[in-house]
Amino acid sequence: MLKEFVRKRSIHVCVVNTGGCNGCDIEIVSCLAPRYDIEQYGIFVHNNPREADVLLVTGPVTLPWKERLKEIYEKTPEPKIVVAVGACALSGGIFKEGHVVGGIDKVIPVDAKIPGCPPRPSEIIEAILKVGPDALAMKEKMIKEKIRKGEVII
């Protein structure tokens, strides 16, 4: 619980590709490079849903990914903020007629959508900064409530 307090000013993002072409993922990687330097905004990208404030999902949901995406969503702690990145994540995109479920919102709730094929790094950062602070605020409120109820001791 102490860890939650220590990192309450940083937004931890888990990237999940549910079957896209990697174009959107490359733009996310660009966010980490010095030109955009996403960490200057306190955003840290990794691949552990159990530590994530925000799930950044790319690609259409291919059939094998349907259950896997639900599992990852379940593992993500509340408030479970999801950002769909790119046309495929929004609607299935160019894979729409293929063996895919469709957009991410067919499987899990989505809080923010970033159109584009692929979207620009600046648009990705902007979307995370739009939903991330709310996620942190909600999380802090939940922790304080647990402390108030005596469910956790720090």
Rule CB under 6 A: which residues touch ligand SF4?
Answer: 20-21, 23-24, 58-59, 86-88, 93-94, 117-118
How do strand 61-62 and strand 43-46 relate by DSSP bridges?
Answer: unpaired
Which CB atom, from 94 or from 137, has the smaller least distance to ligand SF4?
A: 94
Nearest to 14 by CA among 68, 67, 58, 53: 53
Min separation Cβ 118 and ligand SF4, Å: 4
User: Do residues 140 and 112 lie in contact, with contact meaning Cβ atoms separated by under 8 Å?
Assistant: no
CB-nearer residue toward ligand SF4: 88 or 135: 88
Report in angstroms how near the CB of residue 56 gets to ligand SF4 at its nearest.
12
Tell me the residue number closest to ligand SF4, measured at CB.
Answer: 23
Nearest approach, Cβ of residue 78 and ligand SF4 (Å): 28
Q: Are 8 and 139 in contact (CB under 8 A)?
A: yes
Residues 6+ away with beta carbon under 8 Å from 25: 15, 17, 58
Report, in Å, the least distance between residue 99 CB and ligand SF4. Answer: 15
- Residue with Cβ nearer ligand SF4 (19 or 49): 19
Distance between CA atoms of 49 and 71, rounded to whole angstroms? Answer: 10
Of residues 31 and 87, the one with the C-beta less far from ligand SF4: 87
